[in-house]
Amino acid sequence: MAPMGGFINGIIAYGVAFIHSKHLESWRILFLIEGGATLAIGLFAVFWLPEQISSWKLLTEEEREFLMYERALDYAVESPKINWKHALACGYRWQQLIPALMNMCQQITGAALSAYLPTFTSENGFKGATAQIATLAPYGSAAVVMILFSYFSDRQKNRGFWTQVGWILEIIAFAMYLDLPASNHKGRFAGLILAEVGHYVCTPLIVTWQANNAGNESRRAVAVPGAVSLAQAVAVGSGYLFPSTDSPKYTTGSAVILALSCAGAGFTGLYQFLVWRENKKRDEREGGPPAPDFQPDTATYADDAPGFRYLN
């Protein structure tokens, strides 16, 4: 729920702007509030979150059994030991590499927006503490749309279509930033909202898509954090995309992110095609799609298990 974090952070930052201390600067007060809350919630989570579904006391026995059944339809019961053959294969399989490329394109955008959003809002007519409150519109919109799109994606068992919608929103957003004059504050602020919505639509869907198609825990344990780590590594470069010398138009940064969004949409389309083709081959080889309640042996074969189908 990263956009909700940004939403709450905007409110806190706005309030901190009115705290005047002789001993601490405003940014130190902000760090103490947010850092302290993070530590407290982290300690609470250690004792409250369960290690597995079957041990969560807040669920009834019927609820636990249902969730375990739902999970078993996708993944076989596995050994707690990692299967290194499955894990290391993430380094050369297209099923894991292409989502990593998609995520790399996406996280550069996310890092840039997180770092520069207050600057962008201040240059679009919002000044001082009001610039922090103005970030609530992009973050709030992103949170609502992210939840809706994730819900529809789960209901339809389709990640690719909704991910493409997110890329399209980003492409429109940064095309607006390139085209509109810096004096068009309303239009450029609307572009910021579209950019945040597009980013937070794509991010959870890409990461979840990567996990869905990994096949088993061993492969997933490397594929997902590996893709996230690579994305965060390249996201460091986002700090150089919007220098103050390029203000207020920010042509270079907008053009780079527009190009990355187009590339991300291209990688997504390629992945959709490859998944469709592979599933079709498996249907032909196995005499049709598996039965709805069939449980593939992913513990032994990961996503190569007979009966396993990739999520598109």
What pLDDT is stored for residue 97 in this prediction? 94
What residue ranges do the domains of the chain occupy?
50-54+61-76+84-304
Distance CA 5, CA 287 (A): 48
Could you read off the pLDDT of 82-128 as tens digits, one per residue? 888 888 888 899 999 999 999 999 998 888 888 888 788 878 777 76
Quick one: pLDDT at residue 6?
60
pLDDT score for 10: 64
Q: Measured between alpha carbons, how far is 170 from 11 in angstroms, rounded to an integer? A: 25
The total of other beta-carbon atoms located within 10 Å of residue 158's CB is 16
Residue tagged 């709030």 (tokens): 140
Q: In angstroms, rounded to a whole number, what is the distance separating the alpha carbons of residues 62 and 48?
A: 20
123 contacts 182 by C-beta, under 8 angstroms? yes
Distance between CA atoms of residues 267 and 304, nearest Å: 22
Question: Quick check: 53 pLDDT over 80?
Answer: no
What pLDDT does residue 123 have? 80
What CATH number should be reported for the domain whose range is 50-54+61-76+84-304?
1.20.1250.20
pLDDT of residue 8: 67
- pTM for the full model? 0.83
Share the mean pLDDT of the chain. 86
pLDDT 10s digits, 213-267: 988 888 988 999 999 888 888 888 888 888 888 888 889 999 999 999 999 999 9
Distance CA 37, CA 54 (A): 29
Omega before residue 3 within 30° of 0, cis = no
- Check pLDDT > 90 for residue 171: yes
Instruction: Say which DSSP state 51 is in.
Output: S
